[in-house]
């Protein structure tokens, strides 16, 4: 039995519908049913299917250009950040479903809140780049602020770039399947068993490219962009990052390394109290390593794994400049994001100034 009003029972989303409004107000069956029941799962899955795949409203392009113009007038620096695969921001927010997604309120288009970007950059600074960027270090408090003062850099919301997703449809249906519900709900007192029924939980994820905008002194903005580039590539933004969601490539920004020789240093990045100037942080030198040729074997870190394709980093080169891709086959190992993959180059091509290497699983080394 539907919980919609009779006059709305047969209503279906039309082109240009606000995805956020439809998600909040137009679920067919909102009755309190047993969690994980077939009826509840069907209603949720149908709602996700109705919203996913919708094209961005036509009026959004004009709004985006006005937003870009306003950022330029403010003096903000902008960079394009492309999602490698899927992204889910706001998964645990309040929703009529068990899951949620962060959407721009007026147009229902996916976005990345500035607070999420600032949190990602700050977490990378604290947890990856050593004591020079600890939470109480001068460089950290200058860039991100503290309880007593605001930071030098303003992190604006990153809005979806029109046309960047395939067919201008940035939302897609996704599913999280819980295989042992009783084990998780009862604190492990009920051991997982082969006869447990899997419980699919539908949710919506996003793709496409987003306009990152930062305001502040150029030197500090540059450092923040480097932190975002590293965090987006190796950690991801939003939820389910351990499963490969939320990986981003920030165009034109080389992520800093994490070796002892090239960690970001705070010495030249903190505010000079005597002169009032903001020295530029040290930028890691560009790589001098050559791109592996056809037949070359290397071990790269898995960035993203999809159903049919695996994205792999090439040692010594930022992914926005050189990227390796491997087609998933029956004998492909179960590499996950963060794993090292030993591969062999099959071919190479230039795509808009970016080198894409097609690779395959490297043959096992022969024993001597």
State whether 35 and 113 are in the same domain. Answer: yes
Q: What is the pLDDT of residue 357?
A: 92
Contact predicate 212/153, CB 8 Å: no
Q: Is the pLDDT of residue 316 over 90?
A: no
Domain count, the chain: 2
d(CA 36, CA 165): 32
For 135, list phi and psi in degrees, rounded to 5. -60, -25
Q: What is the mean pLDDT of residues 160-182?
A: 83
List Cβ neighbours of 22 (8 Å cut-off, separation of 6 or more).
13, 47, 50, 51, 108
Rounded Cα distance between 99 and 176, Å, is 10
The residue ranges of DSSP E strands in 5-128, in sequence order, are 77-83, 103-104, 109-112
Question: Is 337 or 277 the better-scoring residue by pLDDT?
Answer: 337
Residue with the larger pLDDT of the pair 255 and 66 = 66
Higher pLDDT among residues 311 and 53, named by residue: 311
pLDDT number for residue 52: 80
- For residue 28, the model assigns a pLDDT of 63
Scan for tokens 């794993």, then name that residue: 339
Bridge partners, residue 77, by sequence: 214
For position 211, what pLDDT does the model report? 95
Mean pLDDT within 315-338: 86
Confidence band (pLDDT; 50, 70, 90) for 76? very high
Query: What is the reported pLDDT for 257?
Result: 60
Q: Is the pTM of this model over 0.75?
A: no
Could you give the CA distance from residue 327 to residue 350 in angstroms, rounded to a whole number?
Answer: 18
Q: Is the pLDDT assigned to residue 142 strictly greater than 80? A: yes
- Give the residue with greater pLDDT, 50 vs 303: 303
What's the mean pLDDT in 8-23?
64
Whether residue 77 is contained in a domain is answered as yes
Q: Which residues contact 239 (CB under 8 A, 6 or more apart)?
A: 88, 89, 90, 91, 92, 245, 246
Amino acid 306: pLDDT:
80
Answer whether residue 240 is part of any domain. yes
- CATH code of the domain covering residue 318: 2.40.50.140
Does 273 have pLDDT greater than 50? no
| Mean pLDDT value across residues 85-112 | 82
Q: Please, which pLDDT band fits residue 108 given cuts at 50, 70 and 90?
A: confident
Separation of alpha carbons 204 and 360, rounded Å: 31
Q: 136 lies in a domain?
A: no
pLDDT at 136: 84
Q: What gap in Å lies between CA 162 and CA 361, rounded to an integer?
A: 36
70 and 170, same domain (yes or no): yes
What is the pLDDT of the chain when averaged over all its residues? 78
Q: What percent of the chain has pLDDT over 90?
A: 25
Q: Which CATH number covers residue 74? A: 3.30.70
Residues 6 or more apart whose CB falls under 8 angstroms from that of 12 comprise 50
Is 79 in the same domain as 200? Answer: yes
Which pLDDT score, from 0 to 100, does residue 2 have?
56
Same domain, 325 and 240: no
Query: Where in the sequence is the domain holding 335, given as residue range(s)?
Result: 297-361
């Amino acid at each position: 039995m539907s919980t919609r009003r009779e006059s709305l029972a047969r209503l279906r989303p039309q082109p240009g519908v606000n995805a956020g409004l439809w998600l909040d107000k137009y679920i067919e069956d909102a009755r309190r049913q047993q969690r994980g029941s077939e009826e509840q799962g069907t209603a949720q899955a149908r709602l996700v299917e109705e919203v996913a795949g919708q094209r961005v409203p036509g009026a959004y392009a004009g709004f985006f250009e006005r937003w870009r113009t306003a950022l330029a007038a403010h003096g903000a620096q902008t960079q394009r950040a492309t999602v490698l695969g899927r992204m889910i921001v706001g998964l645990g927010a309040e929703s009529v479903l068990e899951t949620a997604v962060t959407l721009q309120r007026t147009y229902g288009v996916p976005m990345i809140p500035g607070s999420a970007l600032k949190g990602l950059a700050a977490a990378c600074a604290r947890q990856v780049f050593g004591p020079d960027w600890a939470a109480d270090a001068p460089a950290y408090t200058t860039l991100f602020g503290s309880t007593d003062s605001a930071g030098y850099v303003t992190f604006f919301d990153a809005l979806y770039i029109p046309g960047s997703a395939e067919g201008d449809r940035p939302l897609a249906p996704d599913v999280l399947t819980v295989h042992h519900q009783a084990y998780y709900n009862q604190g492990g007192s009920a051991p997982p068993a082969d006869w447990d029924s899997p419980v699919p939980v539908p949710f919506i994820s996003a793709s496409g490219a987003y306009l990152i905008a930062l305001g502040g002194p150029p030197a500090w903005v540059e450092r923040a962009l480097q932190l975002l580039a590293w965090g987006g590539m190796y950690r991801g933004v939003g939820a389910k990052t351990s499963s490969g969601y939320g990986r981003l490539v920030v165009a034109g920004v080389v992520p800093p390394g994490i070796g002892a020789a090239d960690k970001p240093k705070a010495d030249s990045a903190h505010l000079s109290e005597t002169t009032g100037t903001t020295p530029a942080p040290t930028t890691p030198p560009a790589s001098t390593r050559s791109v592996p040729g056809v037949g070359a074997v290397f071990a790269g870190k898995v960035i993203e794994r999809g159903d049919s394709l695996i994205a792999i980093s090439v040692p010594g080169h930022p992914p926005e400049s050189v990227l390796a891709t491997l087609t998933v086959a029956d004998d492909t190992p179960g590499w996950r994001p963060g794993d090292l993959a030993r591969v062999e180059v099959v071919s190479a091509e230039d795509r808009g100034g970016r080198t894409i290497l097609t690779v395959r699983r490297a043959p096992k080394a022969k024993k001597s």
